[in-house]
Structure 1
Amino acid sequence: MTNFEEKLVLPNGIMIKNRFFKAAMSEGLADERNRPTEKLVRLYETWAKGGAGIVVTGNVMVDRRALGEPRNVVIEDEQDLELLKKWANSGTQNNTQLWMQINHPGKQVFKGIVKEAVAPSKIEFEPSLQKYFPIARELTEREIQDIIKRFGTTAGIAKKAGFTGVQIHAAHGYLISQFLSNRHNERADQWGGSIENRMRFLIEIYKSIRREVGEEYPISVKLNSADFMKAGFTEEDSMKVISRLNDLGIDLIEVSGGSYENPRMTGSAMKQSAQKREAYFLEFAAEANKVSKAPIVVTGGFRTRKGMLDALQSGDADMIGLARPMAVYPSLPDELMEGSREQVQLASRKTGIKWIDRTAMLELTWYSLQLERIAVGKAPKETLSPKLALLRSIFKNGMDVFQMRRV
């Protein structure tokens, strides 16, 4: 039976040292020009030493005109290559795979951060959510082709810098996810309509990246099991996308779900069956694993050593994805493999002030500050007050903290 320490061989022959996968979390640690910083170097060195087989970066944007939030790293060219090499070198210590997550936010861009929003179609969010975002305009054919090329360019630079793989972010309501969804994609050309057309944008991005990095370089995708919205991306759609990506040679698939409109990736509306098995999307992953040649990673909800082992030993998941727990316990993979930790307890972080808890999304602010502590050489602080976290975040970012944060 599979255990944590068992190596995993990807379809391209690359060997991963164990079954732990540090999933992407938004760091917000770029400088004001969206360049990587020494803070990222230190943060990823810490995670590399913590034992995970694969560590994935927070989303790196392919276009500085399209930022998901302030201080995203943006890579459009090689001007920051030396900084990227330093980042990659720090995160590949200890025989760790460091993969860069590459993204374009589409219309999930907040007012005041970008000049305009773009999307597959000019479709607004629900009014309660749309107030945070500028109205998006529909992308032209030329712009779509430009974005596809940008993904390939960014991946090629990541490889040159020493990152050992890349992940395409096709989940959580960002641009690729928008193309995949009938709810947000009403195009009548080759990019819309049938699922075969709606997945074309993702497929062409994969091909663009593959041309840049070659056949032996790992390319993974983060894909929604569904977006859980009426007339949206369904589990049946997702299975078709997984099948097509497998035909093309994808190396690994991370299963997630939801978007800002319905944030299932945070555990909201979690099914009772999922609660018993901890992970949010394990049932879907089990079905996907029956048809996928590429390994399946499940991220979200794992909190006990037993729950993680059960997921591996049942064959439902090939790797255990950990995100928020590693903001508090950066050496968690080592602790779980050694048996020195049996579970992780992450309490809900609230100020008790309802409108602040709802608007500022204190949970994410609190975890972001833990990442910054690690990035400046301090240990995470489980007892950090949510109210103090809010004040520190306002001091650092101003009132931008009251905008919704990436999940």
Structure 2
Amino acid sequence: MPQQTPDRQSELNSPLTLPCGQVLPNRIMKAALSEALGDPGHRPSDRLETLYRRWASGGFGLLVTGNVMVDRGQLGEPGNVAVEDRRDLARLRRWADAGQGHGSRIWMQINHPGRQANPLAGRSRPVAPSPVALKIPGASAPQELDEAQIEEIIGRFAETAAVAEAAGFDGVQIHAAHGYLIAQFLSPLSNLRSDDWGGDAERRSRFLFAVIRAIRANVAPEFAVGIKLNSADFQRGGFSEQESLQVLARLAEANIDLIEISGGSYEAPAMMGQAKAQSTLDREAYFLEYAKAARSLAGAVPLAVTGGFRSRAAMAEAVSSGACDVVGLGRPTATAPDAADLVLAGAKEKLAAPRIRAGLRPVLGRVTDVKTIDGFLDLQWHTDQLHRIGAGKNPDLSRPWWKTVGSMLNRNGVEALRPKRRSG
């Protein structure tokens, strides 16, 4: 085994105490991936428990679940778990237990899709701060939320967090990135309101901070509350890096335990590397430069960076340099559910990073953007790996692209041909 620089290796292995007092056993986090493994009643399935039991044995200090929706009528995709009340508490407890079996902490990522809701999955018209449609084929304008509906959704976030605590989860992560509802409030492109919930940057952030306050008032002080925030949404005139840093500075005073930095939306998917220069891709961590700028603003709140990490050297450098406190791994955990153990034990210098591309490229290129198809197919292929693990099987890195086309049609019907929200 190659010799490691002692201080860097020990940094990845070292525990991290969060502001609420909770201790993460190491600095590697399984970041959110949308598993699409809820049962037809939007409850956690046995396959979801099997998947998290496997990840729990993989050495991660923290497991963050995929999207758990706060409203059963507003879902991002078929297979989402939704938690509105305590009706499924027993199943939720089994899910939490599965993720804690080997000392990992498990947090429930809680979310509302807003205009990114799939009307066929949720059976309701999508809602949003303003009636502005997504810039993707087939998207229609959502219904604009009124004041009472906004307050109701804030209460839903607080109730879902309380249920997560009652079920034994160690914390929640508020999803405020990737173009979902909270990010829609933050962005001047999707929030055109002229009342107290829109307008300047401070009013556009009001919804986010109202959600945080409501959750904190509804859970114990030792229950962790984290957030996933965009560094920017990478759209002209959208939520900018400057605005993001302003929000982050306020989060430092908002009783938050961990800020995970990501970026982009499903109109400009920077979180999947599609909006990044080659130099950024080569150094692996897509959002590390932002994290360095954010470090002084975050104060005592730890930072996590997710997106692009593959090599142990890059992970160790990111933590030892102080740029971030936690390294998040997303898609690598779908092909190596023991990725943290492999990195921490020095068994792998670099994690596998399959990039799935569609066949029939000359034909597809005549009718559509092949890069968009490739990105969507890549996410679906990784979802297939999660479903294999949930079924008690090992990942299949040789799975051909055309089998993924078949499986996504089987999961979602013809609606699978529309872009979906697959990463958390």
The one of 378, 391, 397 aligned to 1:363: 378
- Please tell me whether the aligned partners of residues 172 and 258 of structure 1 are also in contact (alpha carbons under 8 angstroms): yes
1:166 aligns with 2:181: no
> Following the alignment from structure 2 to structure 1, what is the Cα–Cα distance between the partners of residues 253 and 210?
14
- Please tell me whether the aligned partners of residues 116 and 134 of structure 1 are also in contact (alpha carbons under 8 angstroms): no
1:142 aligns with 2:148: yes
Q: Give the partner amino acid of 1:101.
A: Q
Aligned-residue offset at 1:359: 4.6
2:133 partner SS: coil
- Structure 2 residue aligned with 1:383: 398
- Structure 1 residue aligned with 2:419: 404
The one of 324, 333, 336 aligned to 1:326: 333
Q: Give the partner amino acid of 1:249.
A: N
- Tell me the alpha carbon deviations over residues 35-64 of structure 1, each in whole angstroms, 9 at most, x when there is no partner: 111011110011011000000000000011
> Following the alignment from structure 2 to structure 1, what is the Cα–Cα distance between the partners of residues 85 and 360?
44
> Following the alignment from structure 1 to structure 2, what is the Cα–Cα distance between the partners of residues 8 and 42?
27
> Following the alignment from structure 1 to structure 2, what is the Cα–Cα distance between the partners of residues 314 and 381?
35
> Following the alignment from structure 2 to structure 1, what is the Cα–Cα distance between the partners of residues 315 and 170?
25
Superposed CA RMSD: 1.4
- Structure 2 residue aligned with 1:55: 63
Q: Which moved more, 1:356-365 or 1:108-117?
A: 356-365
Aligned-residue offset at 1:193: 1.2
Instruction: Give the share of equivalent positions with the same residue, in percent.
Output: 45
Aligned-residue offset at 1:215: 1.9
Q: Give the partner amino acid of 1:405.
A: K
> Following the alignment from structure 1 to structure 2, what is the Cα–Cα distance between the partners of residues 204 and 26?
25
Q: Which moved more, 1:17-26 or 1:268-277?
A: 268-277
Aligned-residue offset at 1:86: 0.4
> Following the alignment from structure 1 to structure 2, what is the Cα–Cα distance between the partners of residues 162 and 50?
20
- Structure 2 residue aligned with 1:316: 323
1:372 aligns with 2:387: yes
2:118 partner SS: coil
- Tell me the alpha carbon deviations over residues 240-275 of structure 1, each in whole angstroms, 9 at most, x when there is no partner: 111111112110000000001111000013134423
- Structure 2 residue aligned with 1:183: 189
- TM-score normalised to structure 1 length: 0.96
Aligned-residue offset at 1:122: 1.4
- Structure 2 residue aligned with 1:301: 308
- Please tell me whether the aligned partners of residues 225 and 255 of structure 1 are also in contact (alpha carbons under 8 angstroms): yes
Q: Which moved more, 1:361-370 or 1:98-107?
A: 361-370
1:284 aligns with 2:290: yes
2:191 partner SS: coil
Aligned-residue offset at 1:111: 4.6
- Structure 1 residue aligned with 2:347: 340
C-alpha distance 235-132 of structure 1, shift in aligned 2 (>3 A): same
- Structure 2 residue aligned with 1:195: 201
Consecutive unaligned residues of structure 2, counting only runs of 5 or more, are 1-6
- Please tell me whether the aligned partners of residues 364 and 405 of structure 1 are also in contact (alpha carbons under 8 angstroms): no
Correspondence list, 1:233-248, <5 A: 233-248=239-254
> Following the alignment from structure 1 to structure 2, what is the Cα–Cα distance between the partners of residues 119 and 332?
37
Aligned-residue offset at 1:144: 0.1
- Please tell me whether the aligned partners of residues 19 and 257 of structure 2 are also in contact (alpha carbons under 8 angstroms): yes
- Please tell me whether the aligned partners of residues 278 and 307 of structure 1 are also in contact (alpha carbons under 8 angstroms): yes
- Structure 2 residue aligned with 1:124: 133
Q: Give the partner amino acid of 1:116.
A: R
1:69 aligns with 2:39: no
Aligned-residue offset at 1:172: 0.3
- TM-score normalised to structure 2 length: 0.92
1:107 partner SS: helix
The one of 24, 31, 42 aligned to 1:34: 42
1:157 aligns with 2:166: no
